[in-house]
């Protein structure tokens, strides 16, 4: 597969993933983020592995539109509390870190959003709301997709959740701007 074919495959995967997301779930998140910003509350993003990378990119987008946002595990992350929003990104929705964080956040009175592929997962059950990212056969990493020597072929990498989650973060930050969250300006 050439780099051009891989790029086209990535774009098709992004398009399929975005089209499969329930717009009502995204609107609920957008409204909650605006409530968070206007109420002077914090947003905390967390995820492990690739989900954590996506979370960091998403947090940066939220910061650009003026939301007081933090990433779990950073040294400057303050404690969360009542009315803060915790966005937990977990493909499986069953990781120990994600489910434990959801449990603790709920006990503290924070609003929990799950971004997961499994709407019946433990994380989704603990969340106040969720955005379901549909799985597709494209995302399975079967043994047949490995090259000799164990290297994963570019098609498998291009099908990673990172590709469409980053795009989703950009789209959400654009919608927040439209809904009234203005981007931060630099002091020159």
Report CA-CA distances (Å) from 11 to 8, 71, 126, 162, 163. Answer: 5, 28, 33, 12, 9
CA–CA separation, 93 and 95 (whole Å) = 6
5, 8, 27, 153: the catalytic one is 153
DSSP letters of 47-92? ESTHHHHHHHHHHHHHHHTT--EEETT-TTPPPP-TT-EEEEE-SS
Angle between the 161-179 and 3-20 helix axes, to the nearest 10 degrees? 50
Q: Is 153 a catalytic residue?
A: yes
Residues assigned a catalytic role: 153
């Amino acid at each position: 597969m050439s780099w051009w074919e891989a790029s086209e495959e990535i774009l098709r995967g992004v398009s399929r993933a975005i089209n499969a997301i329930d717009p009502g779930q995204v609107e609920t998140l957008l409204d909650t983020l605006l409530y968070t910003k206007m109420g002077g509350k914090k947003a905390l993003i967390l995820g492990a592995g690739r989900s954590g990378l996506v979370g960091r990119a998403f947090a940066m987008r939220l910061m650009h539109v003026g939301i007081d946002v933090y990433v779990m595990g950073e040294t400057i992350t303050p404690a969360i509390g009542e009315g803060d929003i915790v966005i937990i990104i977990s493909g499986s929705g069953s990781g120990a870190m994600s489910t434990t964080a959801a449990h603790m956040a709920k006990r503290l009175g924070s609003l929990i959003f799950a971004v997961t592929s499994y709407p019946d997962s433990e994380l989704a059950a603990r969340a106040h709301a969720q955005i379901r990212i549909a799985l597709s056969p494209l995302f399975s990493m079967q043994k047949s997709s490995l090259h000799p020597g164990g290297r994963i072929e570019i098609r498998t990498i291009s099908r990673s959740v990172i590709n469409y989650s980053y795009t989703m973060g950009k789209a959400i930050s654009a919608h927040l701007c439209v809904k009234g969250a203005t981007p931060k300006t630099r002091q020159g």
